[in-house]
Structure 1
Amino acid sequence: MGKTILTIVGVVLAIWLLMTVIGAIISMLKFFFFIGFVAVIVVLAVTLVSKMARSNR
């Protein structure tokens, strides 16, 4: 009986760990996507400002 209970608890803990790891990976990917999006916006803004400054000369 004890072995069955420990097996069930082990399976539940393994599933919980798997879900936690998947959530952490998805959260990290969302964070990296946001950082990449901000970087693209900054690059576009700097490019536009430099082209405007060059065309005014």
Structure 2
Amino acid sequence: MGRTILMILGVVLAVWLLFTVVGAILSMLKFFFFIGLVAVVVVLAVTVVSKMSRSG
């Protein structure tokens, strides 16, 4: 009986750990995507300002 309870607790803990790790990885990927998007916007803005100042 005790072995069955411990096995069930182990499975629940493993599933909880799996979901926690997957959630952390997805959160990190979303953060990196946001940082990359901001970097692209900054590069485009600098490029546009550079082209405008050179032509004027």
Report the TM-score, using the length of structure 2 for normalisation. 0.99
Residue 32 (structure 1) aligned with residue 8 (structure 2): no
Shift, 1:6, TM fit: 0.2
- 2:23 and 2:37 map into 1 onto residues whose CA distance is 21
Counterpart secondary structure, 1:20: helix
Aligned residues: 56
Structure 1 segments, 4+ long, off by >2 Å, are none
| Distance in 2 separating the partners of 1:51 and 1:13 | 57
1:14 aligns with 2:8: no
Q: Give unpaired runs (5+ residues) of structure 1.
A: none
Once the 2 structures are TM-superposed, how far is the Cα of residue 7 of structure 1 from its aligned partner? 0.2
Structure 2 regions of 5+ residues with no counterpart? none
TM-score for the superposition, normalised by structure 1: 0.98
- Give the match for residue 43 of structure 1: 43
Identity of aligned residues (%): 79
